[in-house]
């Protein structure tokens, strides 16, 4: 089965293959820059968790933005491929968000002396995770169909409102929480910029690879399901009669 006949775009397949190859090169650069990055004078070596924790957060945001965009496009165009993209974005976003919620407490235990604090950023992040976990549960435990997809489209759009809240919550609360403020240009120490950029680039490419792979799986599953329901119609569609 070719990329075109399985209903998944050849451009998307080529992009996934290219991102997979690029990822291999980036992983080597990522490991090298993290190992050789300078050790923070205050926190020590544990500060290097920054180079994975923050990119994971950006990946989670990106996944949930994809869910909102996919949902919006589905509501507008009524094309199921956008709904499948929305589901894929939510799943990959939840994976990244889960890992952010794992790496954060590991860092916290080493610096604050405790795994968790009900700080505004941490609380809103947990809420964000629950919102998209509920989205995935909705998609997995409902019958599917256009009604579910429409509801999920609206849910994804409303849920995306939590992303800016999550990002700006520290400023909204006037920096009173335990979580450090958002990074700004020049706020990293000397020599820490490169591993941070490479870390973000690596996890962005990993995100793109996983998203496209997940989207292809969702497309193949939908196609198989449709084929099992009406094989004759699909065979006709393939030969163009």
Partner 1 sequence: MNYLIAAYGVTAVSLAAYTLHLVRERLRARESASRARETNNG
Question: Which residues are bridge partners to 44 per DSSP?
Answer: 40
Among candidate residues 63, 42, 28, 132, the one with its CA nearest the CA of residue 50: 42
Q: Which of 67-75, 151-159, 185-193, 218-226 is the region at the interface with partner 1 (rule: CB under 8 A)?
A: 218-226
Q: Which residue has the tokens 């006949």?
A: 5
Angle between helices 162-172 and 50-77 (to 10 degrees): 140
Q: Which residues of 188-223 are buried (b: 16+ CB within 10 A; e: fewer)?
A: beeebebbbebbbbbbbbbbbbbbbbbbbebbeebb
Question: Which residues are bridge partners to 40 per DSSP?
Answer: 44
Q: Does 13 bind partner 1 (CB under 8 A)?
A: no
**Residues 34, 54, 86, 160: which binds partner 1 (CB under 8 A)?**
34
Residues 93-112 that bind partner 1 (CB under 8 A): 95, 98-99, 102-103, 106-107, 109-110
Closer by beta carbon to partner 1, 56 or else 128? 56
Q: Which of 40-48, 127-135, 150-158, 186-194 is the region at the interface with partner 1 (rule: CB under 8 A)?
A: 40-48
DSSP 35: H
Q: Which of 123-131, 140-148, 150-158, 205-213 is the region at the interface with partner 1 (rule: CB under 8 A)?
A: 205-213
CA distance 205 to 59: 10
Q: Does 227 bind partner 1 (CB under 8 A)?
A: yes
**Residues 26, 56, 66, 205: which binds partner 1 (CB under 8 A)?**
56
Q: Which of 119-127, 168-176, 186-194, 212-220 is the region at the interface with partner 1 (rule: CB under 8 A)?
A: 212-220
Residues 119-148 that bind partner 1 (CB under 8 A): none
Query: x/- string (CB under 8 A) for partner 1, residues 69-98?
Result: --------------------------x--x
In DSSP notation, 196-219 reads: HHHHHHHHHHHHHHHHHHHHHHHH
- Cα four-point dihedral sign 195, 51, 161, 71: positive
- For the chain, the straight-line distance linking the first and the last C-alpha, in angstroms and rounded, comes to 19
Q: Does 49 bind partner 1 (CB under 8 A)?
A: yes
Closest separation between CB of residue 164 and partner 1, Å? 25
Residues engaged in binding partner 1 (CB under 8 A): 1, 6, 34, 45-46, 48-49, 52-53, 56, 95, 98-99, 102-103, 106-107, 109-110, 206, 209-210, 213-214, 216-217, 220-221, 223-224, 227-228, 231-232, 235
């Amino acid at each position: 089965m070719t990329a075109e006949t399985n209903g998944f775009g050849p451009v998307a397949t080529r992009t996934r293959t290219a991102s997979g190859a690029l990822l291999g090169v980036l992983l080597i650069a990522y490991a090298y820059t993290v190992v050789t990055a300078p050790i923070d004078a205050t926190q020590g070596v544990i500060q290097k968790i920054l180079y994975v924790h923050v990119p994971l957060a950006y990946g989670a945001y990106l996944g949930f933005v994809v869910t909102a965009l996919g949902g919006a496009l589905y509501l507008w165009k009524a094309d199921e491929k956008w709904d499948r993209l929305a589901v894929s974005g939510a799943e990959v976003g939840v994976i990244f968000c889960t890992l952010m919620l794992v790496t954060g407490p590991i860092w916290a235990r080493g610096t604050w002396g405790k795994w968790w604090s009900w700080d505004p950023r941490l609380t809103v992040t947990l809420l964000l995770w629950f919102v998209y976990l509920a989205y995935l549960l909705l998609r997995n435990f409902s019958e599917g169909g256009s009604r579910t997809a429409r509801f999920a489209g609206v849910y994804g759009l409303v849920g995306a409102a939590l992303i800016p809240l999550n990002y700006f919550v520290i400023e909204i609360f006037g920096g009173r929480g335990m979580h450090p403020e958002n990074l700004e240009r020049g706020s990293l120490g000397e020599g820490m910029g490169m591993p941070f950029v490479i870390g973000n680039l690596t996890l962005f490419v990993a995100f793109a690879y996983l998203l496209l792979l997940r989207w292809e799986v969702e497309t193949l599953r939908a196609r198989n399901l449709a084929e099992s329901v009406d094989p004759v119609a699909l065979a006709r569609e393939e030969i163009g009669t």
